[in-house]
Amino acid sequence: MFNRLDSTGDGCLTREDYVKGATRVAEYLGLNEKESHRILHQFLYLWGLHIDNDADDQAAKVTEKEFMQNWTSVINESSFRQDLYPRSISADFRAMDINGDGFISKEEHAAFYYGIQIPIEDSMKLFGVLDSDKDGFISIDEYARGYLEFMLTEDPGNRFNDFFGPLVE
């Protein structure tokens, strides 16, 4: 996910990369100004979580090593399940639920992948796995289940390993 978000390819994530991601999502779906603003807000909220700091800090930068260290230490904290895990899940979910109806549609999922520059085919594959009741939408429960399995597994054959696109470039 890190490399996908690093749109400038300088090895660091900045606020600008998240703004670009949100802009791409808005472009993909042809969103109006209000909807685009909402998506931008969700992306910047994610940025704040990822740097564990004030999302409005224009100068903030995080290297891949720091990004991974942040996540690893966060996941190993005892407060993870009670606090950050639900916050992070709902933040990701809201960034993908573009019209805010409480479900991720196929088109919304594809738009998010487009935003962070992951091939749409990968979105389609993962969508089928996450939509476990096969009603054509991902609910927050379905999303949370996939997310938890992705975060906590060390099994390389896990079916959720492509959660944010194939990890191998």
Binding site for Ca ion (CB under 5 A): 97, 99, 101, 103, 131, 133, 135, 137
* C-beta of 56 vs 101, nearer to Ca ion: 101
Q: Measured from the CB of residue 25, what is the shortest distance to Ca ion in angstroms? A: 12
**Dihedral through CA 142, CA 147, CA 148, CA 154, nearest 10?**
130
* Angle value at C-alpha 17, between 149 and 60, nearest 5 degrees: 95
* C-beta of 86 vs 128, nearer to Ca ion: 128
Q: Measured from the CB of residue 47, what is the shortest distance to Ca ion in angstroms? A: 21
Q: Measured from the CB of residue 69, what is the shortest distance to Ca ion in angstroms? A: 33
* C-beta of 99 vs 161, nearer to Ca ion: 99
* C-beta of 62 vs 110, nearer to Ca ion: 110
Quick one: tokens of 49? 């979580």
* C-beta of 27 vs 107, nearer to Ca ion: 107
Q: Measured from the CB of residue 72, what is the shortest distance to Ca ion in angstroms? A: 30
Quick one: tokens of 7? 């749109």
Q: Measured from the CB of residue 144, what is the shortest distance to Ca ion in angstroms? A: 12
Q: What does each C-alpha distance from 147 to 13, 55, 115, 150 come to in angstroms? A: 22, 23, 19, 5
Q: What does each C-alpha distance from 163 to 35, 144, 167 come to in angstroms? A: 25, 12, 9
Q: CA 146 to CA 40: how far, in whole Å?
A: 24
